[in-house]
Amino acid sequence: MELFKNNRWLLIPILSSLLLLVLMKTVLFLGYVPTESMEPTLKKASFILGTRLYGDLTDGDIIIFERDGRLLVKRITASGGEAVVRNGITLIVPENCYYVQGDNVNHSYDSRFWSDPFVKESSIKAKLLG
């Protein structure tokens, strides 16, 4: 018990670290923008903060999602049930899916180029805060 009394000051940093760890695993998401695909909105090599707890996603929201084992950051341009024209062909976005593009369309590898152009809701890790 003497050891606890002498080291009681350690309790605050330990509890703070545990709280931060729980928040990062359940509520918040820290990400990184590796390319210029979202410029000028998000600069290349910047860190971003997202929330894992989000309601309905709508066109214009920026999401962080997993595709082919990589995390990507893009803007939703169409949601389930909406039509998009890709290479002269009209596609209907399936329910619980999204069509996404980077803000810097000349330097973004996004739904316009993927063989399966839709991001499933289950692949979304977070919605950008702010």
Q: Residue 8 has what pLDDT?
A: 76
Mean pLDDT of the chain: 92
| 54: pLDDT strictly greater than 80 | yes
- What size, in residues, is the chain? 130
Q: What residues contact 107, with CB distance under 8 A and at least 6 apart?
A: 35, 36, 37, 39
Q: Residue 7 has what pLDDT?
A: 75
Confidence of residue 2 (pLDDT cuts 50, 70, 90): low
Q: Which of 74, 79, 111, 127 is catalytic?
A: 74
Q: Which of 16, 17, 37, 108 is catalytic?
A: 37
Q: Which helix (H) or strand (E) holds 19?
A: helix 11-26
Across 99-120, average pLDDT: 96
Q: What residues contact 42, with CB distance under 8 A and at least 6 apart?
A: 33, 48, 62, 73, 103
Is 37 tagged catalytic? yes
- Distance of alpha carbon 79 from alpha carbon 40, whole angstroms: 23
> pLDDT by residue (tens digit) across 74-105?
999 999 999 999 989 999 999 999 999 999 99
